[in-house]
Chain A
Amino acid sequence: MQSNKSKRSLTVNLSAMRKGFSIKPLAVGIAAIFLTACGDKQDATVYKTADDCSNSNPEFAQQCQSAYENAVKEAQRTGPKYNSQRDCESEFGFNQCNQVQQGSSSFFMPFMAGYMLSNLMSPRGYSSQPMFTSHSRNSSYRNRWIGADGHDFGDNRRNKLRVSEKSLQPKPTVNRTMSRGGFGSSVRAKSNWGSSAKRGGWGG
């Protein structure tokens, strides 16, 4: 079965293999990836504070707190931003905005008025979204629950909502990560073992 064919690769793209002086940074390029879709409409509740949530769900106090913190972070990241305090207050009302510094620029953003929570009791984990509301007579958002993207979730005297899955998605990133670090513990355990783990890799 001897062949005259070359037994090695003929078409290796050398320039594509060149790396400069180090291995490439972790992520390159942005790929279009589909949104996760779990289903249709879901029940959600809006809580004004973490305490508001844990008073209604004492056994989930910890989740209430971390969902609140996530929502605060998300509000910072995706909430509406204005160049001037006047613009922001005209939409959200007097004393309803604060100044935030991001890099070299500063913005005015409304305070988070509450957060929408769903699947609090689901073993797969909850999802949460920051909620805003307006106190301004000039705004069509007055006394409404508003999402970070301006979606109107209805009268803010009601806190039980029925929302589509999509509105629970963070914007614009893809899905909501509830926990990390669930893989890799075996490596930590085995790495504690002396010399043969000196290379640290888990290939063979």
Chain B
Amino acid sequence: MLRVAIAPRPQWQRKAADFGFKFHTMHGETYWDEAAYYQFSLQQIEQDIEAPTEEIQQMCLAVVDKVVKDDELLQKFQIPQAYWQQIADSWQQQQPSLYSRLDFAYDGKNPAKLYENNADTPTSLYESGFWQWLWLEDQVKAGKIAKSADQFNSLQEKLVHRLAAIGKHYDIKHMHFACCQDTDEDRGTVQYLQDCAQESGLLNDFVFIEDIGLSDCGSFSDLRDQKIQTLFKLYPWEFMQREEFGAALQDAKVNWLEPIWKSILSNKALMPMLWKLFAGHPNLLASYFEDELTQAKETKLVKKPIFSREGANVSVLEHGKTILQADGPYGQEGFIYQAYAPLPRFGDNHTLIGSWLVGDQAAGISVREDSSAITQDMSRYLPHIIL
């Protein structure tokens, strides 16, 4: 695993505009950074990332299977009781999931360590599935990267197939897609999924989360008063379950993407549960619920809110004292504690690997860099190759 400098493609910004990639630069700061790339060996990808990703997915499903049947655990996961039955039903019916992203600390030598599972609303999908793919095509064509170079990235193909399979599962020809207003990044991610749905033969419509309506029959509707039958929502379950229309979820009978059982995975309480079931697994970090903290032998721990996004409210504790802290609006639902395992550094950069799952299959990686040890929302995205 190497970090290699390379000249950016001339006029790539113009190409980004042609393809509708609007958020490569955000708030004047670089987000998509093609002045360098990461190089992996095929063995690193297949043995250290791909295989553990699929194995962890199975371990996560084992956690779901345990938690849905256990009121005490559902409580610990901070899932409101009103949704326990819906979650159990959706798990029982094996409602299909679309995609997830596992975040790993990986240095190219030691086992990748799982930080968290973004199972509900992962972004950086377009950059991964399409844009870094296009970057490699261009750089190989321009003779800047060896023809034999590959990339761990079958995301787009797998998403198209998965969406077609989900369409078949529910016997539908149409899907709605939704995200919040005023964010180019989320809108771009959802547009990408609409493109994949289109490619898979599904008709699709978009509605902003804030514009979703509740109809007289109890179903949700879009702005044209069309019934929402199937909805991909780039909006967290833990928010929906605490909002006004949450009470209407049961009767609205929507085919949800992601299905509501994924509330158990997109939840930091997953980490101590994985540790309980699979303690000592080489890809796991020791993790504890707040009330188990006395068991922790580690002197350095990372404290994470049960619900949070992009590193917000994460802090690092040494002998119980906070030595590093990221602010944010989260934490009222409590925290979990995870053994400290710093991100590897390449130059001045702290590097995080996102490993994608489509359904239960590993589908590629994304590489993010940050100048801080806690990756925040402004960390840069770099492409990668296999050579």
Contacts and interface: CB of A to CB of B under 8 A. Distances in A.
Interface of A: 1-3, 6-14, 16-24, 26-29, 31-38, 119, 122, 124-127, 168, 170, 173-187, 189-190, 192-204
A31 B173 contact: yes
Interface stretch (B39-47, B62-70, B77-85, B255-263): B39-47
Interface in B73-122: 101, 118, 121-122
A34 B221 CA distance: 12
7 contacts: A12-B130, A17-B130, A18-B19, A190-B330, A199-B185, A202-B234, A202-B239
Interface of B: 17-20, 22, 26-27, 42-43, 45-47, 51, 101, 118, 121-124, 129-130, 133-134, 136, 150-157, 173-174, 179-189, 191, 194-195, 198-199, 203-219, 221-222, 224-227, 229, 234-236, 239-240, 242-245, 248, 251, 309-312, 326-330, 364, 376-378, 386
Contacts of A119: 216
A31 B177 CA distance: 14
B148 to A, nearest CB: 11
A13 B19 CA distance: 12
B226 A26 contact: no
Given A174-B227, A201-B186, A202-B234, A36 B219 contact: yes
Contact of A182 (B121, B136, B198, B212): B212
Contacts of A11: 157
A19 B188 CA distance: 11
Contacts of B121: 202-204
Given A7-B152, A190-B329, A182 B377 contact: no
A12 B122 contact: no
B19 to A, nearest CB: 6
A181 B19 CA distance: 31
Given A7-B386, A198-B377, A174 B245 contact: no
Nearest to B116: A204
Query: Looking at chain B's contact residues, is the secondary structure mostly helix, strand, loop, or mixed?
Result: mixed
Given A23-B188, A31-B203, A203-B189, A180 B123 contact: no
A16 B199 contact: yes
Nearest to A10: B157
Contact of B133 (A12, A181, A193): A12
A26 B18 contact: no
A203 B185 contact: yes
Contacts of A7: 42, 45, 150-154, 364, 386
A31 B174 contact: yes
Contacts of A1: 46-47, 51
A17 B248 CA distance: 36
Given A31-B174, A38-B216, A173-B225, 19 more contacts: A7-B364, A12-B133, A12-B156, A17-B130, A20-B20, A22-B20, A24-B194, A29-B205, A33-B226, A34-B227, A36-B219, A174-B226, A175-B217, A177-B213, A184-B208, A184-B210, A196-B312, A203-B121, A203-B309
B46 A33 contact: no
Contacts of A182: 212, 214, 243-245, 248
A193 B328 contact: yes
B329 A27 contact: no
B217 A36 contact: yes
A37 B217 contact: yes
Contacts of B310: 196, 204
Contact of A186 (B181, B243, B311): B243
A170 B376 contact: no
B39 to A, nearest CB: 14
Given A183-B209, A198-B27, A23 B22 contact: yes
Given A33-B174, A196-B312, A204-B118, A9 B185 contact: no
A124 B217 contact: yes
B191 A24 contact: yes
A53 to B, nearest CB: 17
Contacts of B130: 12, 17
B319 to A, nearest CB: 27
A14 B311 CA distance: 34
Contacts of A181: 210-211, 244
A23 B187 contact: yes
A199 B377 contact: yes
A157 B133 CA distance: 70
